[in-house]
Amino acid sequence: MAFEVLMPQLGLTMEEGTVSQWIKHEGDEVKAGDVILEITTDKLTNEVASEHDGVLLKIVAQEGEDIPVKGLLAYIGQPGESLSGGEAVGGASAPAPAAAPAAAAAPTAAPAPAAAANGARIRISPLARKTAAKLGVNYAGIAGTGPSGRIVLKDILAASEIQKNAPAAAPAPAPAAPAAKAGSLELMEGDTVIKLAGMRKVVSQRMWASHNEIPPVTQNIKVDVTALMKFRKMLLAETGKKYSVNDLVLKATAKCLRQHPEMLVSLDGEQIIQRAHVNLGMAVALDAGLIVPVIRDADKLSLDALSAAAKDLASRAKENKLGADEYKGSTFTVSNLGMFGIETFTPIINQPDAAILGVCAIHDELDLDGEGKLFKKQVMRLSCTLDHRLLDGSVVAKFEMDLRDLLEKPMSILL
């Protein structure tokens, strides 16, 4: 019997993967350990290797297709070997099975509730919601086992099994949930349609969830970085090492967060988790989307070590060489758009963090000294978005003011 190639589960929270590229094709010989395809999971591209020697008999999942964990991708076996359904590949077809009796009518899809009975919004993953609609599972009363009580695929499958084994109840007429509009935009000449998949799909889902679940407030503060820029030049002259402005901002942020542990919190259902570590998420822009590798215990790192870690993570993120654990576990995130000349913006919180710091461009500004004389200084704005369920504006304002003071007196960053 041919062996099945299944979608692997490459992380505890992984529910589905996208087939990015088939390296091997139907009819190709494969050996155990050979890479046969690439899949995109949770912002990363991973290689899937064969566990058996043989021939790639049949490709079931096509490139660009989203497949749930343990879903069928392909078959590997010997030429002419029968597949699990009785189909023979590369040889005579297996006899067709006798016609099966008409299948029972599929269960009517249960309405997809937007909120629980108490009015609270239901946390459910997109794949779990889609599967619930297919299986006719009403998830309003399901207790999720995912992060923060989120309903995930295995919860829906378990509920479906319970529903199948439960005594049949008299069907009650219920209006079907309105189907989400897809492909309803009118296309104009020259338009192309690109499937929302892979990293862009993950970014889309997470940004939508964050924006809809969190009451955000963004507070901006202006920082005089004239001394910081001189300090950077001094470090270059004395050490020969070229630190970026981002390195100094990350170092100052890590130090300031250690002094403000109230910023390091996460909401988990009806409880607040006080985080023990300053794990800095660092937003990195890629052609396919956005990824946030994590610098762990950043407050314990020297400027040299932090700078090296930031450069290494950013470089490997762009080369798709990050491990799954290297972009998880952040407790605070920094997003820098200063290199693009952005003067202020509203960064979206990287859940489950309670805040994110937006770093903006440095520009010249004129000011008056105590004697009324005009002088030029360099300023930079910081835009901090907070989760108002967990943090108040005054709390974050104190953090921003202390961070400003550190950056305006840069020697204190290293002390």
User: What tokens were used for 329?
Assistant: 């576990």
The terminus-to-terminus CA distance of the chain in angstroms comes to 67
Average pLDDT over every residue of 252-274: 97
Domains in the chain with CATH codes = 3-77 (2.40.50.100), 215-413 (3.30.559.10)
* Angle formed at CA 119 by CA 113 and CA 121, multiple of 5 degrees: 60
Separation CA 144–CA 109 (nearest Å)? 20
For residue 91, the model assigns a pLDDT of 42
Average pLDDT over every residue of 235-249: 96
Count helices and strands (H / E) in the chain. Answer: 8, 18
Separation CA 261–CA 274 (nearest Å)? 8
Average pLDDT over every residue of 384-394: 97
Q: Residue 297 pLDDT > 60, yes or no?
A: yes
* Gyration radius from the chain CA atoms: 27
Question: Model confidence over 316-361: pLDDT tens digits?
Answer: 998 888 887 898 899 999 999 999 999 999 999 999 999 999 999 9
Q: Residues 52, 260, 277, 388: which is the catalytic one?
A: 388
Average pLDDT over every residue of 95-115: 45
What predicted TM-score, i.e. pTM, was given to this entire model? 0.68
> Residue 253's closest CA among 146, 147, 103, 406?
406
Which residues sit opposite 37 in a β-bridge? 22, 48
Q: Residue 95 pLDDT > 50, yes or no?
A: no
- Known catalytic residue: 52? no
Question: Model confidence over 2-22: pLDDT tens digits?
Answer: 889 999 987 766 788 888 889
H or E segment to which residue 358 belongs: strand 355-368
* Angle formed at CA 393 by CA 400 and CA 226, multiple of 5 degrees: 20
State the residue for tokens 């407050």. 299
Question: Model confidence over 31-54: pLDDT tens digits?
Answer: 999 999 988 876 678 889 999 999
Instruction: Count the alpha carbons within 13 Å of 395 in the hemisphere toward its beta carbon.
Output: 19
> Residue 139's closest CA among 113, 177, 173?
113
Which residues sit opposite 381 in a β-bridge? 222
Separation CA 301–CA 251 (nearest Å)? 8
| Structure-model confidence comparison of residues 38 and 114, the more confident one | 38
For residue 256, the model assigns a pLDDT of 98
List, in order, residues 6 or more apart from 182 with CB less than 8 Å away: none
Q: Rounded to an integer, what is the distance from CA 130 to the centroid of its chain?
A: 19
> Residue 235's closest CA among 225, 245, 221, 224?
245
Q: Rounded to an integer, what is the distance from CA 63 to the centroid of its chain?
A: 21
